[in-house]
Structure 1
Amino acid sequence: MLLVKDTDSAPRGRRGWLRRIEQLDPEADCQEIHRITAGYEFPWDYQRSLELALFRTYCVPTISGLLRETGEFEKRPQKRYDDTALLMAELLEHGYDSPRGRESLRTVNRMHGKYDIDNADMLYVLCTFIYDPLDWIDRYGWRPLHPHERLACFHFYRQVGIRMGIREIPEDFQVLHRFKMDFEREHFHYTDDNHAIGVYTRDLFCAWFPRPLRPAVKVGVNAMLDPMMLSAFGFRAAPAWVTSVGQGALRGRARLVRRLPPRRRSKAARDPRNRTYPGYPVGYRPGDLGADRDSGCPRR
């Protein structure tokens, strides 16, 4: 499958990419559609929503317990974040069956293969990559998602999950969504491991800002978490006015973005917050990433 490439002749008009999406099949062309959605139309929204999606998975005690046991979040939270973000970006930018995509999946499977991870936990994490960004864009996106985009996201990550060896992935969008909702109701509850991993992650987000702003960022992060997450982490809810201001700012941003011209270059693999691998992908391969590559430097 040929994926859309960066071009100086992007579709005309703010709805140009959407017109292209309408012409594609959400299953057969899921990689191309999802790259347009996440790389051209909503790159900022996808980065923020996937940050919260990963945060959500730490509300599951078996997941947070394993992460705390490895010590990765305590010792190298930025590297753990960068590894995950870049490996997912490789799949999105190049496709899961491309040479770099296959290498990325081997890296993911290499890291996961060192631990005894329950299949249901793996399936749940996959769910968050599908549904959390869709929910975010429904609330804060500059335009509504097309049904093709929703289904393409599902089919894209379903194929990723199959290549990761995740079993019993439903073939239906709604069935998998019900699994996610039921899983959260059953498994989200407070543990000390949840709290510790939640604090490490929130501190990481705060570290991206100047020190005087970090107390406000901490409250802002809490404002983005739903009641189930706050309870599972043992975090204090933000004041209602903070939540309202934050949501208003995000909706204001959407109105501004709506007026911008269509993006001509994909931003899927261009994250300025990548601090572990400066210059990536220049001089690096997907196989250089991962928790067992402690130096953050490429192999020669």
Structure 2
Amino acid sequence: MPFGFGFGTQWALLKTFAVSSGTPLLVKTRQLTTETKVAKRAADTGAILSEFLIGSVDSDRGLKALSKLNWIHRRYGNRITNDEMIHTLAMFVLEPQRWIDRYEWRPMTNLEKNASYIYWKEIGNRMGIKDIPATLEDCEKWTFEFEKSNIYYCESNRICAECTMDMLLKNIPKFMHNFVRGVSASFLEEHVRIALGMSSPPPWIANLVWLFFSARGWAIQNLFLPRWRPLDMRAEQSSDGRFHSKSIGPEPWYIKDTTWNRWKTWWATQGRLAPGPQFKSNGYLPEELGPAEFEKLSRNSVLNEAELMKEYAERGGAAAVGCPFSVSLNY
């Protein structure tokens, strides 16, 4: 079910833009509203998450990626509230579960759902998030109550959602844009669409989406063989220690500059783009991810925090040490 997990995680990010208290900061930083920055932000977010979701949060790569995420969040201090952090964490738990239960060939078991929550709860502890609900059921109740008061339309929500959709449509032929927007809207609940300023999809699009995923689920369950090996979509490490992405997004960030990758990028971007220095074709290190202006500024603090987090993990993490994990580092 990697497809449902990955797609659900992407849509979890979009749904966080429905929380009206958080989007003004995103608009102000211009990381989402500047065309030259939005695709890199998406690539960096995907790379950071994959390091500790597909990989392990206790791996060297995972520790550095999570430490960099913490460093970026600390830059904004109390402008990101604890409740907003809990809600974002909840979206990363609940939205992939909703996607898999609705669109995959089988629903998740209760064991799988609770295991996912325990893992994310430990990530939240290491991010210094306080008062995380104790159980998955408590998280669902907390999220429901939070959204009743905090999800409503405002212009900054619409701007964030619109900029994200524009980025996703970059490599889609223009004659298909309205159709893809309708499909995207069908993945969201009505109250979320309203908060994002998105129109409801025509019924025929919603029915077509249901039919497609039903057929896909039946085919996977009845016609496909089990995977021969686990699917690992993390970036590949080169001999110089840097990492190169495997998948090409709206822009080819961190894609190695090879003949094969140039052909794939040409095809994916309709001939617009190619890997190169402007897209960091030399790859990345986890501690370098995020806004370019922070790449060198954050390095020492991120590496120090990763070492502290490693010691914390070796002592048993939140279960043994208590939570939340927090450090005080100089920028």
TM-score normalised to structure 1 length? 0.80
Alignment partners' CA distance in 1, 2:84 and 2:60: 27
Asked if 1:245 is matched to 2:222, the reply is no
CA positional deviation for 1:179:
0.7
User: 1:117: which partner in 2?
Assistant: 80
Give the Cα separation in 2 of the matches to 1:262 and 1:156.
25
Q: Structure 1 residues 268 and 185 mapped into 2: Cα distance closer, same or farther (>3 Å)?
A: farther
Q: Conserved in 2, the CA contact under 8 Å of 1:93 and 1:268?
A: yes
Q: Does 1:99 align with 2:63?
A: no
Superposition RMSD on alpha carbons, in Å?
2.1
Determine which structure has more spread, i.e. the larger CA radius of gyration.
Answer: 2
Asked whether the 8 Å contact 1:111–1:292 carries over to 2, the reply is: no
Instruction: Kindly state the Cα deviation for residue 293 of structure 1 after the two structures are TM-superposed.
Output: 5.0
In the alignment, what sits opposite 2:189? 226
Find the aligned partners of 1:194 and 1:256 in 2 and give their Cα distance: 37
Task: Identify the residue that residue 261 of structure 1 maps to in structure 2.
Answer: 225
Where do 5+ consecutive residues of structure 1 fail to align?
1-41
Other structure's SS at 1:61 match: coil
Number of the residue aligned with 1:216: 179
- Equivalent in the alignment of 2:254: 277
Does residue 69 (structure 1) correspond to residue 28 (structure 2)? The answer is yes
User: How many residue pairs were aligned?
Assistant: 255
User: Matches of 2:197 and 2:64 in 1, distance apart?
Assistant: 38
Report matched runs for 1:17-96 at 5 Å: 42-75=1-34, 76-96=37-57
Q: CA deviation digits over 1:58-111, x for unaligned, max 9?
A: 001122111111101112221111111111110023311221111011110111
**Alignment partner of 1:73: what SS?**
coil
Instruction: Give percent identity, aligned residues only.
Output: 27
Alpha-carbon distance in 2 for matches of 1:107, 1:262: 36
Report the alpha carbon displacement of residue 269 of structure 1 after superposing the two structures with TM.
Answer: 2.0
Amino acid at match of 2:47: L
TM superposition shift of 1:215: 2.4
Structure 2 runs not aligned, ≥5 long: 236-245, 257-279, 300-331
Do 2:105 and 2:218's aligned partners in 1 also have CA atoms closer than 8 Å?
yes
Letter in 2 for 1:291: P
* Bigger mean CA offset, 260-269 vs 62-71: 260-269
| Cα distance, 1:43 vs structure 2 | 1.4
Q: Which amino acid aligns with 1:43?
A: P
Between the aligned partners of 2:293 and 2:112, the Cα distance in structure 1 is 35
The amino acid across from 1:253 in the alignment is: R
Bigger RCO of structures 1 and 2 (CA < 8 A, at least 6 apart): 1
In the alignment, is the contact (CA less than 8 A) between 1:43 and 1:267 conserved in 2? Answer: no
Deviation at 1:294, TM superposition (A): 7.9
1:169 and 1:143 map into 2 onto residues whose CA distance is 29
Between 126-135 and 77-86, report the one with greater CA deviation.
Answer: 77-86
**TM score, norm. by length of structure 2:** 0.73
Secondary structure, in 3 states, of the residue corresponding to 2:247? coil
* Contact 2:183–2:201, Cα closer than 8 Å, also in 1: yes
Distance 1:171 1:186, change over 3 A: same
Q: Deviations over 1:169-200 (max 9, x none)?
A: 12211001111111111101110100111101
What letter corresponds to residue 117 of structure 1 in structure 2? Answer: I
Per-residue CA shift, 1:234-291, capped at 9, x if unaligned? 2211111111111211121112222222221323426523422214998421112112
